[in-house]
Amino acid sequence: MTKKPPLMTEYDFTLPKGLMDTKGRVHRQGKMRLATAKDEILVLQHPQVQENPAYSVLIYLSQVITRLGSLSTVTPQLLEDLTVVDLAYLREFYNRINQHKSTLIPVQCPHCSQAFKVELALSGES
């Protein structure tokens, strides 16, 4: 009987730009855990989301980011200072790990016109 590998529940990421804290330190490396059904419910019940649905992304991310640089607590208010590039990266990273889908995009060879798909690498990934 073969053993299944354990389910990965936390994933490392590297922000393209990084978040600068109040002491001028830039935080780029972090960990994000898989989202749960409870996370979904809590976001919908959050007062700031009820006032402004666009705020939901910051609530989601603050719940699932378990570490950002030396910061072990990530709040929605802290994430308000992310660059647009880093916010887009985290949204895509969240979607990728929670949907377990690779991000394949259709491309065409400019020389032979052969169509194929390549995996989209997120900014900050090597």
Q: Residues 26-59: pLDDT tens digits?
A: 999 999 999 999 998 999 999 999 899 999 999 9
Domain presence at residue 46 = yes
Domain presence at residue 2 = no
What's the confidence (pLDDT) of residue 104? Answer: 60
Domain presence at residue 5 = no
**CA gap 25, 2 in Å, rounded:** 46
What's the confidence (pLDDT) of residue 56? Answer: 94
Domain presence at residue 81 = yes
- Please tell me whether the overall predicted TM-score, pTM, comes out greater than 0.85 for this model: no
| Beta carbons of 18 and 27 less than 8 angstroms apart | yes
What's the confidence (pLDDT) of residue 126? Answer: 44
What's the confidence (pLDDT) of residue 9? Answer: 87
Answer positive or negative: Cα dihedral of 78, 75, 41, 15.
positive
Domain presence at residue 86 = yes
Give the phi and the psi of residue 85 in degrees, each rounded to 5.
-60, -45
Give the chain's residues under pLDDT 70.
1-7, 100-107, 116-126
What's the confidence (pLDDT) of residue 69? Answer: 95
* Residue 43 belongs to domain spanning: 10-101
For the chain, the domain total comes to 1
Coil vs helix vs strand at 27: strand
Domain presence at residue 26 = yes
What's the confidence (pLDDT) of residue 115? Answer: 78
Domain presence at residue 113 = no
Domain presence at residue 112 = no
